[in-house]
Structure 1
């Protein structure tokens, strides 16, 4: 059942429209991420859900109640900001209790809830500290505890991990996801980090220039991008130009070499140019067996990336990158060496926008 229903949402600042007819239905307890580059409108949508920005058009409904024109205090929404936004003159306990005091809860209830939240974020002994005495990761845990202390219907997270270093970011995102599952809070998470979105979410909304380019599970968005933008933004991808030979049967040519896509090429005729996408991890060396395509080229560069070695191969006018596991006992081709690449037909995707 739909818990958050957003319809035809639009936001303009003067003559500039930054969100265009955005629509999304979020289920109760679902974790949805808005993923996109800076300036794509994802935080603006989050702020409209919270009530910090007024929608220019459209509607927002939470659990059957329309909240489009309600002030933030009238919406049961918790929000965690990128910059923590803790009160520096308040202790950790006072920060967590702030929303409860505004809601005029009793002292005993507040004390019990603060203690519960500190246990929940695994920081039971820091109630008397001030924000400046905490690490960045601890401050963000406290900000999260403050947001959920009031038992919100919806939890909104605006790039809460971007200011943290890599190891803490990975650890904290796992904690946030685990906590969200345990509490069952419907959550919307804004990020420009594709790894965060793919690893944490039930569904991902890929945003571009104020519009949702694609909405789907992490598996769908990564493996079956619908547009060139999604294909290039989510993960590392080979974007190639191909010529249609036989649209109905999916026959294409890449740099003069015929390949066969798994599906028909809709809306195209022989001789048309299309954009195709191919993940580096889907490409291997060797001649193609049945059900696979092959391309021939010359190794242009070999890059060591730790667990993975990325090899760039020049075809005629285009390049293809492939990822191989770093196995010391396995010889990899050197720059200048001719190679044959192969891949499954299902991995060759014809994408829109090219």
Structure 2
């Protein structure tokens, strides 16, 4: 039986429906990320789990117990916000201890638990400091310790890293994941940053206009996007418009190139248009590159990005980007040069609307 179940969740504000029939089952100890652009409904789902918002329809069940009629403080949920939300007049120790004091825990037990939490986030030496005396990353770690101190059954993280600079974000997200694994706590993480979601999640929910467009592992989401939105939102992707050549042979025209697809074209007829996706890292210009498919075109531009060189080629009026690792002894492809991009037919993905 799943630990956290969201069953036909809906939420409307007036005439606007922001969450539309959302369904998901989350196992105990899973790390789930809700990924999507602003306004897609991901934070609203999180707030319904927390009890800050009531569903317009549907149920939320945690460990077999319906949560709909429970207040936030009755759900045994820990929450970390984007803006830290620490008490400025309290020390680090008192901030972490706050929930334990409200719960009526004995003073000796509180001290032991707070020390455990500060050791977990490696800030034992800052127990007597106030929030204004700490960096943003340190404050967010304190907020995490405060959320975990009462031993919640579910941890909710609402874009906790977005206010931090890039280097701190990377180190802190890895630390959050390590702590989550160590404690085995069921966690739901909201973010609009695809790299964050891909790097730390067991599964990702890609949300679009109040719905879950796709739920899957990071590998599934990246390599096998189910919809055009997922394909375009997660990672850099070439969207190629092709024309069906022979449905029986599963072939299409891309510019002047005839390409055989691995995926079935289905009920499409010769001359029909379809969308195909290709990741930039899939191709190679090397004549010795492995691959059963190729596209020939003209180099439109080439950009040196440090470890990667990103080149765009014009294939029958369609610009296709591809990436290759920088090599000091190789010259960059030059605009106007005719090149052949080689890749495997399985790298081409049919994209549904």
What TM-score do you get using the length of structure 1 for normalisation? 0.97
Identify if the C-alpha distance between structure 1 residues 330 and 112 changes in structure 2 by more than 3 Å, giving closer, same or farther.
same
Which residue in the other structure is 1:217 paired with?
217
- What's 1:242 paired with? 242
State the alpha-carbon separation in 1 of the partners of residues 98 and 230 from structure 2.
40
Deviation at residue 291 of structure 1 after TM alignment = 5.5
SS at match of 2:125: coil
Unaligned runs of at least 5 residues, structure 1? none
Give the CA deviation at 1:288. 8.8
Are 1:32 and 1:203, in contact at CA under 8 Å, matched by a contact in 2? yes
Aligned to 2:145: 145
Distance 1:287 1:249, change over 3 A: farther
Distance (Å, rounded) in 1 between the aligned partners of 2:11 and 2:316 = 46
Deviates more, 1:56-65 or 1:266-275: 266-275
* Structure 2 counterparts to residues 62-211 of structure 1, below 5 A: 62-211=62-211
Conserved in 1, the CA contact under 8 Å of 2:284 and 2:341?
yes
| 1:347 equivalent in structure 2 | 347
162 and 248 in structure 1: CA distance in 2 versus 1, 3 angstrom threshold? farther
The answer to whether the 8 Å contact 1:300/1:335 transfers is yes
SS in 2 for 1:150: coil
Q: Distance in 2 between matches of 1:268 and 1:10?
A: 35
Is residue 2:230 matched to residue 1:230? yes
Contact kept? 2:10, 2:55, Cα under 8 Å: yes
Tell me the distance in 1 between the aligned counterparts of 2:25 and 2:159: 21
Q: 1:318 offset after TM fit, Å? A: 0.6
After the TM superposition, list the runs of 4 or more consecutive aligned residues in structure 1 that deviate by more than 6 angstroms: none
Following the alignment from structure 2 to structure 1, what is the Cα–Cα distance between the partners of residues 267 and 198?
A: 31
1:296 and 1:315 in contact (8 A); partners too: yes
Match of 1:271 in 2: 271
Match of 1:298 in 2: 298
Gaps of 5+ in 2: none
Structure 2: distance between partners of 1:250 and 1:150: 58
Match of 1:45 in 2: 45
> Equivalents in 1 of 2:100, 2:72: separation in Å?
15
- Does the CA-based 8 Å contact 2:261-2:345 persist in structure 1? yes
Note the C-alpha offset of 1:348.
0.2
- Corresponding residue SS for 1:236: coil
Note the alpha carbon deviations across 1:2-27, whole angstroms, 9 max, x for none. 11011110000000000000001101
Deviations 1:313-339 (A, max 9, x none): 111211000101011112231111111
- 2:24 is matched with 24
Query: Following TM superposition, by how much is the alpha carbon of 1:261 offset from its aligned partner in structure 2, in angstroms?
Result: 1.1
Structure 2 CA distance, aligned partners of 1:290 and 1:349?
18
Q: Distance in 1 between matches of 2:135 and 2:296?
A: 52
Q: 1:4 to 1:286 in 2, by over 3 A?
A: same
Residues 225 and 231 in structure 2, CA contact (< 8 A), matched pair in contact too: yes
2:85 & 2:175 partners in 1: Cα distance?
20
Cα distance in 1 for partners of 2:251, 2:136 equals: 54
Mapped to 1, the partners of 2:32 and 2:296 lie a distance apart of 41
Q: Structure 1 residues 291, 130: CA separation in 2 closer, same or farther (over 3 Å shift)?
A: closer
Provide the rounded CA distance (Å) in 1 between the counterparts of 2:247 and 2:350.
Answer: 11
For 2:249 and 2:18, locate their aligned partners in 1 and report how far apart those are by CA, in whole Å.
40
Residue 12 of structure 2 aligns with which residue? 12
Whether contact under 8 Å (2:290, 2:343) holds in the other structure is no
Tell me the SS of whatever aligns to 1:2: coil
SS at match of 2:3: strand
Contact 1:19–1:210, Cα closer than 8 Å, also in 2: yes
Q: 1:112 to 1:332 in 2, by over 3 A?
A: same
Number of aligned residues: 353
- State the alpha-carbon separation in 2 of the partners of residues 210 and 262 from structure 1: 32
CA 290–146 in structure 1, closer or farther in 2 if over 3 Å, else same: closer
Task: State the match for 1:338 in structure 2.
Answer: 338
CA distance in 1 between partners of 2:290 and 2:177 (Å) = 42
